[in-house]
């Protein structure tokens, strides 16, 4: 991707890798350990509208070794997500961009580099992490920013003349797509001005915008992927907890075993409260203040990568866990009532024995 003064496309290619490393990060301690900065509390859109992070993440900047002009940025979110972003300058033609997208999406060593870097950062900042995880969930996403396109086409002109190439970039396909598939991809196109464009896919996005405008878009795409990662984590956690409770119920089908149900119920209730608190924190991490375009773009990105689907799964399992919690408590109360009633009957029988024995 060497510089070319006559290149049709000029911009950058971004590989974004996110890891769910702990339950929570103490961001102030993180800043102190790393000597890093907080992300600006407001990310200003070109139109003057704003969006805000409730707790702005901590950000580190670095250079990619051996790659001139390449950048590395590590970001730490308070809800336990660490993201590693690699950005490389790009200058070339449409076939070059299509080839790069296809290669990155199908297989890239950037994932391994990102994970190695993430492990180093987690080890260094362990004192600022609350409940670090032994097993990490991860997500990757690729963004192709074109800041200069030959002829300075409008978004409408670009979609009309280069829609096929854009759809291939977003899908990571080197082969030409069918008309139906191309149309499906381009339905996810959005523009704020006549000369900017974003096309969002489930694992990549194409962005044609200025430096300032593309920065906001990148933040929104990254945030959407961090949400996906969190809801995947909650879904996985609830699946394991529900399975454990069901196994416990099978082992405690006896009357004596049911006396241990309050312990299971208490543990399940703790998980429910923790997941509810953490999902609310992650879900409300970003605020849109009058920036309706950014809000629509976030909803589009979230929908494309599957955030609502995993959120629905997690919420459904939360409802199941709540029903199961009530069932455990009811089972315990029924068992306790049975035992108490049995004791009352036993006492009455003993008294009757004494009464009849005395008469004899």
pLDDT in tens, 255-301: 444 445 455 555 566 666 666 666 666 666 666 655 588 888 989 99
- The maximal CA–CA distance of the chain, rounded, in angstroms, is 118
Same domain, 53 and 80: yes
The answer on pLDDT for 146 being more than 80 is yes
Same domain, 143 and 243: no
The answer on pLDDT for 47 being more than 50 is no
The pLDDT score that the predictor gives to residue 271 is: 65
The pLDDT score that the predictor gives to residue 270 is: 63
The answer on pLDDT for 247 being more than 60 is yes
Same domain, 263 and 190: no
Range of the domain at 248: 224-355
The pLDDT score that the predictor gives to residue 284 is: 66
219 occurs within a structural domain? no
pTM reported for the whole predicted model: 0.80
The pLDDT score that the predictor gives to residue 19 is: 98
Same domain, 205 and 274: no
pLDDT digits (tens, 9 = 90+) for 169-224: 999 999 999 999 999 999 999 999 999 999 999 999 999 998 888 888 998 999 99
In this predicted structure, which of 73-82, 101-110, 210-219, 250-259 has the lowest mean pLDDT? Answer: 250-259
Same domain, 70 and 176: yes
Same domain, 196 and 266: no
What count of residues does the chain have? 360
3-state secondary structure of 107: coil
Same domain, 40 and 189: yes
Structural domain count of the chain: 2
Task: Look at residues 192, 212, 232 and tell me which one is the last residue of a structural domain.
Answer: 212
Same domain, 208 and 295: no
Same domain, 116 and 165: yes
155 occurs within a structural domain? yes
The answer on pLDDT for 1 being more than 80 is no
The answer on pLDDT for 85 being more than 50 is yes
- Bigger pLDDT: 103 or 346? 103
Backbone angles phi, psi at 201, to 5 degrees: -120, 180
Region 65-77 average pLDDT: 86
Same domain, 184 and 250: no
39 occurs within a structural domain? yes
Region 99-123 average pLDDT: 93
> Helix 110-124 to helix 27-34 angle, to the nearest 10 degrees?
100
The pLDDT score that the predictor gives to residue 95 is: 96
Percentage of the chain modeled with pLDDT above 70: 72
4 occurs within a structural domain? no
Mean pLDDT of the residues in the chain: 82
1 occurs within a structural domain? no
Task: Look at residues 180, 212, 244 and tell me which one is the last residue of a structural domain.
Answer: 212
Task: Look at residues 161, 185, 212 and tell me which one is the last residue of a structural domain.
Answer: 212
Same domain, 50 and 98: yes
Same domain, 67 and 194: yes
């Amino acid at each position: 991707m060497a510089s070319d003064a006559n290149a049709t496309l000029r911009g950058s290619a971004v590989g974004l890798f996110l890891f769910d490393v702990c339950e929570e990060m103490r961001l102030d301690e993180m800043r102190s350990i790393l000597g890093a900065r907080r992300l600006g509390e407001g990310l200003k859109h070109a139109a003057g509208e704003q969006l805000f992070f409730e707790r702005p993440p901590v950000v580190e900047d670095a250079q990619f070794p051996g790659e001139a002009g390449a950048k590395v940025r590590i970001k730490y979110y308070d809800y336990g997500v660490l993201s590693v972003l690699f950005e490389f300058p790009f200058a070339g033609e449409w076939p070059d961009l299509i080839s790069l997208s296809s290669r990155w999406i199908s297989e890239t060593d950037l994932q391994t580099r990102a994970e190695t870097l993430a492990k180093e950062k987690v080890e260094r900042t362990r004192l600022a992490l609350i409940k670090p995880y032994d097993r990490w969930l991860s997500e990757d996403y690729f963004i192709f920013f074109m800041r200069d396109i030959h002829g300075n086409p409008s978004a409408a002109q670009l979609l009309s003349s280069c829609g096929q190439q854009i759809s291939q970039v977003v899908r990571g396909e080197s082969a030409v797509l069918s008309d139906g598939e191309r149309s499906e991809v381009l339905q996810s196109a959005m523009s704020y001005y006549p000369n900017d464009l974003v096309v969002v896919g489930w694992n990549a996005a194409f962005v044609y915008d200025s430096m300032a405008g593309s920065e906001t878009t990148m933040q929104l795409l990254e945030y959407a992927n961090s949400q996906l990662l969190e809801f995947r984590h909650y879904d996985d956690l609830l699946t394991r907890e529900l399975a454990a409770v069901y196994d416990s119920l099978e082992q405690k089908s006896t009357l004596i075993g049911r006396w241990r149900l309050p312990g299971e119920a208490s543990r399940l209730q703790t998980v429910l409260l923790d997941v509810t608190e953490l999902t609310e924190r992650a879900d409300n991490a970003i605020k849109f203040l009058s920036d309706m375009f950014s809000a629509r773009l976030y909803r589009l990105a979230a929908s494309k990568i599957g955030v609502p689907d995993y959120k629905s799964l997690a919420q459904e399992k939360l409802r199941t866990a709540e029903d199961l919690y009530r069932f455990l408590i009811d089972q315990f109360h029924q068992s306790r009532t049975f035992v108490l009633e049995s004791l009352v009957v036993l006492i009455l029988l003993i008294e009757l024995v004494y009464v009849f024995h005395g008469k004899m």
